[in-house]
């Protein structure tokens, strides 16, 4: 429930339903009966945040405890922020309407580097100092999790704690500890020192970073007994892991508004550009029976008519056929559609596709990522042109007329020929459509090519690679567009400057804190939205702080350079990543984990276990 003083402004802002709370299944508790109040913040708008599975899991998990109350907080849109600032309304939590300033824990989920300024803006809207050192009392403790915290260094001055890895177990442990330290009246420093002893907890302020004259990192030194290497948390058994049986059902339309259930964590593929594929190792699967139970429970409590089976590569799920076969009878009966995001072109059985279309038909998307076989080998995206075309032909035979293809530019070793290859592959898909004798009468084909730019990320084999500068990316985009000779292929491209900024933060260090704060003070926020991105303000902020952003993006790093995130341990060894990087430059592929274990090392996090080791194909 929103604060009372907001009432007279609610009809003056766009989509007020984002700010009222009161959605079905949102949880309201008696605040006098809980010890810990937790504000779970998503540093983007309601529509984006309400689509995020991690938030739903942790919301339910914390609220399952009697002693804690977790509430949702999103970044207000520009019009609402203005109303709040003009009328002195601080950032509040949706369930209670209470100012989050007085909460015990403020947690941010960091999925995207370009939401960093939103974190500062939300802390400021809450009435809190943005820097960790200026928040001197024990509470609120500001924590962060999510993919971006694998390199939390650019945000190290702002967060008190980050939680690399799976959040399910460590969240509870941290709440227990905070409850204990709050009860005994401890100081913030005492709490942080103790928290650093929990596995999977990183306290940035307990590490001293020294730099060389060339601005590279000289040393990272733990203090106060903090571990030299912070090992990410890993949930060993997904079947036993907490999973929600209810989702908060938004009133207004959000990006993903459906039942979403994870089927496995990790990925067997080893695409060399893909951070998620390396951060989430080792592979851990949920049994089909558990997945089905969870899907059913959520559909019943929400009334959703769509289920998304979520993972990094859904067709690699061993139990997929069993699961779909078991689910089809009741989903068809209840008019529920099953969506399978992240399907791969090479192992997508035709029969399965037909069955899935029994209720409603969804779009068809492939991600060849690169235009030539040579470059696909470099990035270890092991699909062939033939596989893409065969699957496209099957899809066209099944009545599809639109196909979406995802590609990346700016990949290591890329040449003009590789970019030309993207246009060729799109054209080949178009040709495949016209080869189909049963193609629908009077309908054309639409192949849309979505063109992203590579942002080399930590913990991938490309973490040492230079990133193409924005002007180079624009040239490459223009070249591709000049190669497309048909109106049946449409190309949508990303803003290269956005990828550039993302690249700076992805592989940045602590010296970027001043840049982020300067840019935010100049009005930068919602940087991921092209209409809000203030390029000039960012360029001024880099200059004013004497930071050359290309130091972080355009430089090839040596294998022996100390990387700003070297004190984080995601299981995958540096040796493995170096080997993969070398193989990439030789155009050599690495077999997927199911064919042959590549020895990435992540199974050590799971006591040596990995769902792909010692298993035969079902």
Partner 1 sequence: MKSVRLWFKKDGLAVYISHLDMNRCMTRAVRRAQIPLWYTEGFNPHPYMTFLMPLPLGQAGLREPLDIRIEDDMSFKEIKSRLNAVMPEGIEIVDVAKPVCKPNEIAAAQYEADVIFASEEEAAAFADGAAKIITSGVLNAEKRSKKGIKTVNLCELVRSFEVRANGNTACVKTVLAAGNTVNLNAELLLNALNNSLSANPEKTVIARTGLLREDLSIFE
Q: Is 14 in the site for partner 1 (CB under 8 A)?
A: no
> 408 CB contacts (<8 Å, ≥6 apart)?
273, 369, 370, 379, 451, 452, 453, 454
**Residue 140: is the preceding peptide bond cis (ω within 30°)?**
yes
> Stretches 6-14, 184-192, 224-232, 553-561: which one binds partner 1 (CB under 8 A)?
6-14
Q: Is the peptide bond before 273 cis (omega within 30 degrees of 0)?
A: no
Name the 3-class secondary structure at 550.
helix
Identified binder of partner 1 from the candidate list 20, 287, 342, 579, rule CB under 8 A: 20
Query: Smallest distance from the beta carbon of 11 to partner 1, in angstroms?
Result: 5
E strands along 257-411, which residues?
259-262, 264-265, 284-285, 306-310, 337-339, 365-369, 402-409
d(C-alpha 51, C-alpha 43), whole Å: 13
DSSP string, 191-244: HHHHHTTSTT-B-GGGEEEEE-TTSSEEEEEE-TT--SSEEPB--S-TTTS---
Q: How far is the CB of 257 from partner 1 (least distance, A)?
A: 8
* Contact assessment for residue 242 and residue 166, using Cβ atoms and an 8 Å cutoff: no
Q: Could you give the CA distance from residue 33 to residue 63 in angstroms, rounded to a whole number?
A: 13
Q: How far is the CB of 360 from partner 1 (least distance, A)?
A: 6
Residue 10 binds partner 1 (CB under 8 A): yes
Binding residues for partner 1, rule CB under 8 A, total 28
Contacts of 116 (CB under 8 A, 6+ apart): 43, 110, 154, 155, 505, 516, 527
Q: Provide, rounded to whole angstroms, the least separation between the CB of residue 24 and partner 1.
A: 4
Our finding on whether 7 is near partner 1 (CB under 8 A) is: yes
Residue 45 or 285 with smaller CB distance to partner 1:
45
DSSP strand pairing (306-310 vs 207-211): unpaired
CA dist., res. 151 & res. 567, Å (int): 9
Of the candidate spans 7-15, 227-235, 313-321, 400-408, the one that interacts with partner 1 by CB under 8 A turns out to be 7-15
- In the bound state with partner 1, the residue whose beta carbon lies nearer, of 11 and 617, is 11
Kind of pairing between the strands at 217-222 and 36-42: unpaired
Binding residue for partner 1, selected from 173, 231, 305, 475, defined by CB under 8 A:
305
CB-based contact 162:144 (threshold 8 Å): yes
Please enumerate in sequence order all residues whose Cβ is within 8 A of that of 390, keeping only pairs 6 or more positions apart, or say none: none
Q: Is 561 in the site for partner 1 (CB under 8 A)?
A: no
Work out how close the CB of 324 gets to partner 1 at its nearest, in angstroms, rounded to a whole number.
Answer: 20
Binding status of residue 16 toward partner 1 by CB under 8 A: yes
Contacts of 277 (CB under 8 A, 6+ apart): 266, 267, 269, 270, 271, 312, 460
1 binds partner 1 (CB under 8 A): yes
**CB 289, min distance to partner 1, A:** 23
Region of 8-16, 107-115, 147-155, 284-292 interacting with partner 1 (CB under 8 A): 8-16
Q: Measured at the alpha carbon of residue 58, what is the angle toward residues 246 and 261, in degrees to the nearest 5?
A: 50
Q: Whole-number minimum distance, CB 21 to partner 1, in Å?
A: 7
Of 17 and 227, CB closest to partner 1: 17
Find tokens 């990133």 and name the residue: 467
Map tokens 């840019």 to a residue.
519
Among 54, 223, 313, 360, binds partner 1 (CB under 8 A): 360
* Among positions 5, 22, 136, 325, the unique one binding partner 1 when judged by CB under 8 A: 22
Binding to partner 1 by residue 302, rule CB under 8 A? yes
> What is the C-alpha separation between 464 and 220, in angstroms, rounded?
19
Q: Is 249 an interacting residue with respect to partner 1 (CB under 8 A)?
A: yes
Q: In angstroms, give the least distance from the CB of 365 to partner 1.
A: 20
Q: Which of 17, 227, 398, 466 binds partner 1 (CB under 8 A)?
A: 17
Using CB under 8 A as the binding rule, whether residue 21 contacts partner 1 is answered as yes
How far apart (Å, rounded) are the C-alpha atoms in residues 402 and 75? 35
**492: number of Cβ within 10 Å:** 10
**Would you say 22 or 599 has its CB closer to partner 1?**
22
Q: What is the C-alpha to C-alpha distance for residues 178 and 201, in angstroms, rounded to an integer? A: 13
Classify residue 33 by burial, with Cβ atoms within 10 Å: 0-12, 13-18, 19+.
exposed
Among 208, 210, 300, 548, binds partner 1 (CB under 8 A): 300
Q: Tell how strand 105-109 and strand 141-145 pair up.
A: parallel
Question: Binding to partner 1 by residue 304, rule CB under 8 A?
Answer: yes
Taking the least distance from each CB to partner 1, the nearer of 213 and 438 is 438
Shortest separation between residue 263's beta carbon and partner 1, angstroms: 24
Q: Of residues 79, 102, 251, 347, which one binds partner 1 by CB under 8 A?
A: 251
127 by DSSP, 3-state: which? coil
Q: Which stretch, 16-24, 206-214, 382-390, 448-456, contacts partner 1 (CB under 8 A)?
A: 16-24
Work out whether 444 is an interface residue with partner 1 (CB under 8 A).
Answer: no
Binding to partner 1 (CB under 8 A) within 313-342 occurs at 334-335
d(CA 209, CA 219): 6
Q: Which is nearer to partner 1, 10 or 562 (CB)?
A: 10
Which residue from 66, 210, 253, 539 is in contact with partner 1, where contact means CB under 8 A?
A: 253
Of 333 and 558, the one with the shorter C-beta distance to partner 1 is 333
The minimum distance between CB 255 and partner 1, in angstroms, equals: 14
Nearer to partner 1, 363 or 587 (CB): 363
Q: Which stretch binds partner 1 (CB under 8 A): 125-133, 244-252, 283-291, 466-474?
A: 244-252
Asked if 38 and 103 count as a contact pair (C-beta separation under 8 A), the reply is yes
Give the binding site for partner 1 (CB under 8 A).
1, 7-8, 10-11, 15-17, 20-24, 249, 251-253, 257, 300-305, 334-335, 359-360
């Amino acid at each position: 429930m929103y604060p009372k003083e907001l009432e007279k402004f609610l009809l003056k802002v766009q989509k007020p339903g984002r700010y009222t709370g009161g959605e079905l299944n949102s949880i309201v508790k008696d605040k006098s009966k809980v010890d810990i109040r937790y504000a779970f913040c998503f540093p983007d708008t309601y529509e984006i945040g309400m689509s995020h599975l991690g938030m739903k899991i942790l919301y339910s998990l914390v609220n399952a405890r009697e002693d804690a109350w977790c509430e949702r907080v999103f970044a207000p849109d520009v019009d609402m922020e203005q109303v709040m600032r003009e009328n002195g309304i601080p950032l509040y939590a949706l369930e209670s309407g209470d100012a989050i300033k007085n909460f015990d824990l403020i947690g941010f989920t960091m999925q995207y580097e370009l939401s960093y300024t939103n974190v500062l803006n939300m802390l400021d809207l809450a009435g809190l100092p943005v820097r960790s050192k200026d928040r001197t009392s024990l509470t609120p403790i500001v924590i962060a999790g999510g993919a971006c915290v694998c390199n939390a260094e650019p945000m190290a001055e702002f967060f008190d704690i980050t939680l690399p890895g799976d959040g399910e177990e460590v969240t509870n442990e941290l709440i227990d500890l905070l409850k204990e330290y709050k009860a005994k009246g401890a100081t913030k420093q005492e709490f942080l020192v103790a928290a650093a002893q929990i596995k999977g907890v990183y306290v940035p302020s307990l590490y001293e970073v020294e730099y060389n004259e060339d601005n590279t990192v000289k040393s990272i030194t733990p203090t106060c007994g903090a571990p030299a290497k912070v090992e990410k948390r890993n949930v060993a058994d997904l079947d036993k892991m907490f999973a929600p049986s209810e989702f908060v059902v938004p009133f207004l339309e959000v990006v993903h508004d459906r039942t979403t259930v994870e089927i496995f964590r990790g990925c067997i593929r080893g695409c060399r550009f893909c951070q998620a594929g390396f951060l989430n190792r080792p592979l851990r699967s949920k049994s089909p029976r558990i997945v089905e139970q969870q899907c059913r429970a959520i559909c019943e409590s929400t009334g959703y008519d769509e289920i998304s089976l979520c993972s990094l590569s859904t067709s690699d799920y061993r139990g997929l056929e069993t699961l779909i076969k078991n689910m089809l009878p009741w989903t068809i009966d209840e008019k529920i559609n099953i969506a399978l995001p992240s399907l791969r072109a090479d192992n997508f059985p035709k029969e399965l596709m037909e069955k899935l279309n029994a209720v409603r038909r969804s779009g068809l998307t492939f991600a060849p990522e690169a235009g030539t076989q040579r470059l696909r080998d470099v990035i270890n995206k092991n699909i062939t042109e033939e596989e893409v075309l065969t699957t496209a032909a099957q899809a066209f035979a099944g009545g599809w007329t639109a196909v979406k293809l995802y590609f990346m530019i700016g990949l290591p070793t890329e040449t003009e020929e590789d970019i030309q290859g993207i246009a060729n592959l799109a054209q080949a898909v178009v040709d495949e459509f016209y080869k189909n004798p049963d193609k629908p009468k009077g309908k054309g084909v639409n192949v849309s090519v979505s063109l992203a730019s590579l942002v080399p990320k930590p913990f991938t084999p490309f973490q040492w690679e230079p990133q193409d500068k924005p002007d180079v990316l624009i040239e490459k985009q223009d070249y591709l567009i000049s190669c497309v000779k048909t109106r049946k292929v449409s190309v949508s491209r990303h803003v290269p400057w956005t990828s550039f900024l993302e690249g700076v933060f992805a592989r940045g260090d602590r010296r970027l804190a001043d840049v982020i704060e300067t840019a935010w003070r100049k009005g930068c926020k919602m940087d991921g939205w092209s209409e809000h991105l203030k390029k000039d303000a960012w360029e001024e902020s880099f200059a004013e702080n004497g930071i050359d952003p290309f130091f972080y993006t355009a430089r090839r790093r040596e294998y022996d350079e100390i990387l700003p995130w070297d004190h984080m341990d995601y299981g995958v060894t540096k040796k493995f990543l170096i080997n993969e990087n070398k193989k990439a430059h030789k155009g050599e592929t690495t077999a997927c984990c199911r064919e042959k274990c590549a020895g990435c090392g992540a199974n050590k996090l799971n006591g040596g276990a990995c769902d792909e080791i010692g298993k035969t194909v079902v």
